[in-house]
A and B are shown apart, each in its own frame.
Chain A
Amino acid sequence: MPLTNELRDDILASVPSLRAFAISLSGNGDRADDLVQETLLRAIANIDSFQPGSNLPAWLFTILRNLFRSDYRKRRREVEDAEGNYAKTLKSQPSQAAHLEFEEFRAALDKLPQDQREALILVGASGFSYEDAAAICGCAVGTIKSRVNRARSKLSALLYVDSAEDFGPDNTVRAVIGGNGG
């Protein structure tokens, strides 16, 4: 459809959540904003292929997700100071304890396989339905559900080892914690 002012406003309204998605995926504020910028340019360049009345945020998230994937494949993770960079993008500086907890969470999130991380963010933070998340990731709904579940158990194991032992055998937990290779 043509780029109407209304459509511009709708695209703009998606920017805050696109940024949050990009930062959650990449762990890097600067890279995230580059991703958002490229997403917006590509969206507008291909606006003719957007179906009026369909889910604009899901369409934009799909573009960003695919860009991130190709970008990620190109340069892997040369930036290891992800947490530090992310912290700089926070407006409100959290207290030291909260900050530590946040960094631990961020580090655990980064240890998830990419498929699981994006599924968890889309469903657990962006608030997409399993169906929309499946469309964004180009996979089956059941696949998204199992990725989200696996992401949750891994995060539990990484962040709350002692309690995590309540629901899983010891060696599974250890394997998860030790298995952050890449």
Chain B
Amino acid sequence: MKEVKKQGGLNAEIQSRIGHQLRAMYDDVVRQGVPDRFAELIRKLDGPEAAAAAVAGGDTDKNNGGD
């Protein structure tokens, strides 16, 4: 692979290991697919109004009383 040579002063092998670890971490989550809760959420929402209402009313566990 030629691209590893482009890494300026950085050790190319280390950079490729870091890239690999980063993608491994990320792809592990991507492979989990879409959790049911999100599929249901999107299916349930009729449109912007329903979503806006859920944004406003859905986080009752947080204190939105003021800054």
Interface residues of A (CB under 8 A from B): 2-3, 8, 11-12, 15-17, 19-21, 23-24, 33, 36-38, 40-48, 89-92, 101-102, 105-106, 109, 120-121, 124-126, 149, 152-153, 155-156, 159-160, 163-164, 166-168
Question: What are some 19 contacts across the A-B interface (CB < 8 A)?
Answer: A11-B42, A16-B34, A20-B27, A23-B29, A33-B37, A37-B37, A41-B51, A44-B45, A45-B55, A89-B29, A105-B25, A120-B22, A121-B26, A152-B15, A156-B14, A160-B11, A163-B11, A167-B10, A168-B9
Q: Inside 8 A of A23's CB, which chain B residues have their CB?
A: 29
Expressed in whole angstroms, the Cα–Cα distance for A133 and B49 within the complex equals 30
Interface of B is mostly: helix
Interface residues of B (CB under 8 A from A): 7-11, 13-15, 17-19, 21-35, 37-39, 41-43, 45-52, 54-55, 58-59
Q: Max chain A CB contacts within 10 Å: which of B7, B14, B50, B54?
A: B14
Q: Inside 8 A of B18's CB, which chain A residues have their CB?
A: 152, 155-156, 159
Q: Given A2, A91, A102, A121, which contacts B32 in the complex, CB threshold below 8 Å? A: A91
Q: Inside 8 A of B22's CB, which chain A residues have their CB?
A: 105, 109, 120-121, 124-125
Q: Given B24, B29, B45, B54, which contacts A19 in the complex, CB threshold below 8 Å? A: B29
**Smallest CB gap from A125: residue in B:** B26
The answer to whether A149 and B34 touch (CB under 8 A), given A16-B29, A46-B48, A126-B26, is no
| A12/B42 in contact, CB under 8 A | yes
Q: Inside 8 A of B43's CB, which chain A residues have their CB?
A: 8
Q: Tell me the smallest distance from the CB of B57 to a CB of chain A, in Å.
A: 10
| B14/A160 in contact, CB under 8 A | yes
Q: Inside 8 A of B47's CB, which chain A residues have their CB?
A: 2-3, 44, 47
Q: Inside 8 A of B39's CB, which chain A residues have their CB?
A: 12
> 7 closest A-B pairs (Cβ-Cβ)?
A44-B51, A125-B26, A20-B29, A45-B51, A45-B52, A16-B30, A20-B26
Expressed in whole angstroms, the Cα–Cα distance for A89 and B29 within the complex equals 8
